[in-house]
Every structure is written in structure tokens, then in C-alpha cells.
């Protein structure tokens, strides 16, 4: 019985913590279904007096939600593809290929993580403008094909856990480095690749500063930036704002719910535990 007590206390603490963190999301979802009058008269009530599913219809009709969603999916999909391809290739070079100066260059790459985004913001903007990518989603997608230091580190750590004997067996079968990478390393790295893809998808989905900097055409706005425009136009329509915020948030929650096991497995096997 004494052994079970610490476990019960740990589970109770986890449940209480989960409720605390989930409460704002639950309140937002339930408040998005309340009549506008209830939000004014009794804003702290947890449950709606009347379940108004029409709030979502009004929110979608009040803004070009489908266009924002299409742009966001295009941005997130392209960014995920670019990140997974570039970072996996670079990480494989650092983890499995021996070449002079590898460790020094990897250290320099890791040092770039210390630079805040604002330091490179202006040079990157000027470069992308000179390339003719300003005011297009390509300005946000193309840089992901050039790699990301954190994701390269994450994948490198995972690749190092794969036994070298598998690569040697591939070489005996006549495979080159590309064959080993594509036929052995990549299939075995699904949890880590899924983790990187999920991180990048969430980052692209939530990105506000990038579209703010590179986009000026409303037809190309993603959801994060479009939602800000919606807030500016309907600041007094709280029920519509909450419905729009719920529509923006729930896809990320659903995606994480279905991928959490693979996500946690990818984190646990990259040396980032604790």
C-alpha cells in the first residue's frame, strides 16, 4: 500500500495539472457556443445558456475562412516538406558520413541557434525581395528548404542511435550513401521525422510575424494573419472572435491527439529526454 501512495499522488497531481492547462481551451470552446448577450451579461459562466452552433457559421461567413485555410495548408505543407528533406539530408551528413571538419562545422551550426530571428530578419527580407519572392507564400516556404539548426540537431541525434552495422550491411549489398539514407535510415527514422514534421507544421500554422513581414495581398494571408485582421474588424463581436479562435486552434489539438504517441517516441529516442 505504501508503494502505491506515491503513484496515486503523482497521478492526482498530473490530473490537476492537466485540468489547469486544459481549462482555458475548454472555456474558449464553450464560450464560442454562447449567445452574445450571455458573454456580456455573465462572461464567467462556464456553460452556455443556449448552445449557439450558428456562431461558427457566422464566423466563417464573416471572413474568407476557406481561403485563409487553403493558404495555411499550402504554407504548412510546403514548409514541412522542405524542412524534412533538407534537415534529414544535412543531419545524415553530420551523423553517418565521416569528413574533415565535420564536428567544427556542426558546432558552428549549433551556435547559430543563439541568434534571435530579429537579427536575420532584415537581411533575409532584402534577399527574398531581390529574388522576387516578396508578397508570395514562397518567401515563407523556400527558406525551409535550406535547413534549420534545431531540427538538424534533433535528427542527427536520432540517426546516431541507429546501429552502424545496418549501414555496413547496406554497403556490402552494393548500396551507396544515398541508398543507405533512403532505404535504411529514413524508414527507421519515422518517429523522429514525424516529430520534426509536427513541430514545423505547428510553427507554420501559428506563424504571424512571417506573413506580416512578407505578405501584403489579402488573398494570400494564412489563418494566423487573417485572424488578426478579423479581430480588428469584429472587436465588439466576442462570440464570433471566440468561434474563429476555436476554428484556428482545434486542428492543431486534433493533430497532436492522433500523433502524440509517435511524437513522444521521437522525442524520447533523440537524447532530449528530461
| pLDDT tens, position by position, 74-124 | 999 999 999 999 999 999 999 988 889 889 999 999 998 888 888 888 899
**What is the b/e burial string over 198-224, where b = at least 16 CB atoms within 10 angstroms of the residue's CB?**
bbbbebbbebeebbebbbeeeebbbbb
Q: How far apart are CA 155 and CA 92, in angstroms?
A: 8
pLDDT at 237: 81
* Domain residue ranges of the chain, discontinuous segments joined by +: 63-233
The string of DSSP letters for 62-78 reads HTTHHHHHHHHHHHHHH
Of 263, 193, 217, 226, the C-alpha closest to 72 is: 226
Q: What is the DSSP letter of 174?
A: T
- Tell me the C-alpha to C-alpha distance, in Å, between residue 169 and each of 11, 153, 158: 45, 26, 19
**Predicted confidence band of residue 143 (pLDDT cuts 50, 70, 90):** very high
Q: Which class for 79: exposed (0-12), middle (13-18), buried (19 or more C-beta within 10 A)? A: buried
Q: How far apart are CA 226 and CA 214, in angstroms?
A: 14
pTM of the entire predicted model: 0.84
Superfamily for the 63-233 domain: MetI-like (1.10.3720.10)
Q: What is the CA radius of gyration of the chain?
A: 23
User: What residue has cell string 456553460?
Assistant: 47
Give, to the nearest 10 degrees, the angle between helix 223-233 and helix 190-206. Answer: 30
Q: Is residue 221 scored above 50 in pLDDT?
A: yes
More confident residue, 166 or 270: 166
Amino acid at each position: 500500500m505504501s508503494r502505491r501512495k506515491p503513484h496515486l499522488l503523482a497521478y492526482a497531481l498530473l490530473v490537476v495539472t492537466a485540468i489547469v492547462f486544459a481549462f482555458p481551451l475548454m472555456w474558449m470552446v464553450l464560450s464560442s457556443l454562447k449567445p452574445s448577450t450571455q458573454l456580456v451579461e455573465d462572461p464567467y459562466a462556464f456553460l452556455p445558456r443556449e448552445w449557439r452552433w450558428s456562431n461558427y457559421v457566422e464566423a466563417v461567413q464573416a471572413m474568407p475562412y476557406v481561403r485563409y485555410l487553403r493558404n495555411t495548408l499550402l504554407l504548412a505543407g510546403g514548409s514541412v516538406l522542405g524542412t524534412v528533406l533538407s534537415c534529414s539530408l544535412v543531419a545524415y551528413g553530420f551523423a553517418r558520413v565521416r569528413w574533415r571538419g565535420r564536428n567544427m562545422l556542426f558546432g558552428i551550426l549549433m551556435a547559430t541557434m543563439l541568434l534571435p530571428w530579429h537579427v536575420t530578419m532584415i537581411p533575409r527580407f532584402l534577399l527574398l525581395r531581390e529574388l522576387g519572392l516578396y508578397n508570395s507564400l514562397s518567401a515563407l516556404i523556400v527558406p525551409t528548404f535550406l535547413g534549420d539548426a534545431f531540427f538538424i540537431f534533433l535528427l542527427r541525434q536520432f540517426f546516431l542511435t541507429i546501429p552502424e552495422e545496418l549501414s555496413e550491411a547496406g554497403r556490402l549489398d552494393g548500396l551507396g550513401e544515398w541508398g543507405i539514407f533512403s532505404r535504411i535510415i529514413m524508414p527507421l527514422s519515422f518517429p523522429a521525422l514525424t516529430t520534426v514534421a509536427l513541430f514545423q507544421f505547428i510553427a507554420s500554422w501559428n506563424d504571424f510575424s512571417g506573413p506580416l513581414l512578407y505578405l501584403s495581398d489579402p488573398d494570400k494571408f494564412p489563418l494566423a494573419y487573417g485572424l488578426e485582421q478579423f479581430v480588428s474588424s469584429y472587436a465588439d463581436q466576442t462570440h464570433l472572435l471566440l468561434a474563429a479562435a476555436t476554428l484556428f486552434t482545434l486542428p492543431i489539438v486534433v493533430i497532436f491527439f492522433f500523433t502524440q504517441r509517435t511524437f513522444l517516441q521521437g522525442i524520447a529516442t533523440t537524447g532530449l529526454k528530461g
